[in-house]
């Protein structure tokens, strides 16, 4: 809602400074009619699961987390899980003339 208020304030300044002679009541009504459209767009985005990040979230994401060199040097990469291409199972003993499914 604050963003819409900032938008209205900026557009009102633009109307007063630059469009002083051409501003009609339709322009002002259209500016005020943008509130329901703004709210509707926010509602649709919220239904799709969109959540805005707050300023606190953005600041915490930008701040690097302190890490020690001892934890990164001792961390080892685990082996990936076995798959049909890496395991030695019955497929390895398949006759050469028999097709795969």
The pair phi, psi for residue 64, each rounded to 5°, is -70, 140
Structural domain range at position 6: 2-62
**Mean pLDDT for the chain overall:** 80
Residue 10 lies in a domain: yes
- Please give the angle made by the CA atoms of 40, 51 and 64, to the nearest 5 degrees: 150
- In this predicted structure, the answer to whether residue 44 has a pLDDT above a threshold of 90 is yes
Q: Tell me the average pLDDT across 45-57.
A: 87
Residue 85 lies in a domain: no
Q: Tell me the average pLDDT across 62-75.
A: 63
The domain total for the chain is 1
pLDDT over 70 percentage in the chain: 77
Residue 18 lies in a domain: yes
Q: How confident is the model at residue 66 (pLDDT cuts 50, 70, 90)?
A: low
Residue 21 lies in a domain: yes
Residues 4 and 34: beta-carbon distance below 8 Å: yes
pTM: 0.49
């Amino acid at each position: 809602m604050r963003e819409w208020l900032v938008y209205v304030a900026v557009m009102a300044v633009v109307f007063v400074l630059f469009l002083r002679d051409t501003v009609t009541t339709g322009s002002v009504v259209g500016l005020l009619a943008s509130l329901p459209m703004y709210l509707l767009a926010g509602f649709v985005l919220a239904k799709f699961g969109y959540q805005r990040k707050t300023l606190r979230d953005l600041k915490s994401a930008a701040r690097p987390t302190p890490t020690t060199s001892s934890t990164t040097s001792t961390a080892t990469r685990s082996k990936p899980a076995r798959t049909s291409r890496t395991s030695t199972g019955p497929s390895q003993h398949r006759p050469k003339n028999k097709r795969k499914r």
